[in-house]
Amino acid sequence: MSPMGAKRPPRNADSSTFRRDKKSQPMTEHPAPSLLAELRDDGHGRLLYRGSRFLLIRPETLVAAQRAVEAAAGPGAAECFAAGGRAGGARATAAVAGEARERLDRLLKMGRELGWGEFGVESWNPARLVITVKHSPFAEAHGRSQGPVCHLIRGVVEAFAEQLLRRPMQASETSCEAAGDLICRFEARA
C-alpha cells in the first residue's frame, strides 16, 4: 500500500452527504433526484437519462478490453481509456446546470448511482481537484496490479476539472485499490 492511500470519509445517516472533516466536503446540501429513478428504457434497446443514452456493461467486459489494448498497444493503452473517460466526462459535465461545486456534487452522485464507486472530494480549489473513489469497479474487476488501472475514471475526473474550473488540467491516479491502496485517488492540476 502506498503512503498516498487513505480511508473513505465517514458517512452521515443520510447517505447522500459526507460529514465535514479536514479532508472531505459535503457531497450535496440538497439531495437531487436519483439518476436511476429517471433512467428510462425507450422500448427500442436504449436506456436514456434526460435524453442521453447510457449503457449497462459489466466491469469485467471493459477490463478485458483494456487488457487486450494494453497487450496490443503497450503503455499508451492507458491514454486511450483516459480519452474515453474525458469524452464521457465532458458530455456529462456539460449536461449538468448550476454553480461549479453543485455540478460536481451532482456528477459524483451520478457516478455512484451508475456503479462507478463511492466518490468523495478530498480537495477543491481553482488550481486543483482531488477525487477519491472507494470500490472502483475497474480496480475490483482488474485484480492485483503493479500500478493504477482506473484510466476511464481518470479521464472523467480530468474532464470534470477542466470544465468546472475553466482551465486546462492534467489528471493522474495517485493511488489505486488494484495496487493495494485503500482507495483510488485522482488528482487534477492546472
| Separation CA 166–CA 190 (nearest Å) | 10
DSSP 8-state code for residue 188: E
Q: What is the pLDDT of residues 12-25, one digit of tens each?
A: 333 333 333 344 44
Q: Give residue 32's pLDDT.
A: 63
pLDDT above 80 (res 2): no
| pLDDT, mean over the chain | 85
**Residues paired with residue 188 on neighbouring β-strands, in sequence order:** 129, 171
Mean pLDDT of the 127-152 span: 97
Q: Give the number of other CB atoms < 10 A from CB of residue 90.
A: 17
SS3 content of the chain, % helix, strand, coil (to 5): 40, 20, 40
| 187 to 56, 145, 172: CA distances (angstroms) | 27, 20, 5
Phi, psi dihedral angles at 45 (to 5 degrees): 85, 20
Give CA angle at 25 (24, 30), nearest 5°. Answer: 145
CATH number for the domain whose boundaries are 60-189 = 3.30.1380.20
Q: Are the beta carbons of 1 and 181 closer than 8 angstroms?
A: yes
41-76 pLDDT tens trace: 999 999 998 888 888 899 999 999 999 999 999 989
State residue 24's pLDDT score: 42
The pLDDT, as a whole number, for residue 31 is 59
Is 39 within 8 Å of 48 (Cβ atoms)?
yes
User: Is residue 106 scored above 50 in pLDDT?
Assistant: yes
Give the three-state DSSP class for 82.
helix
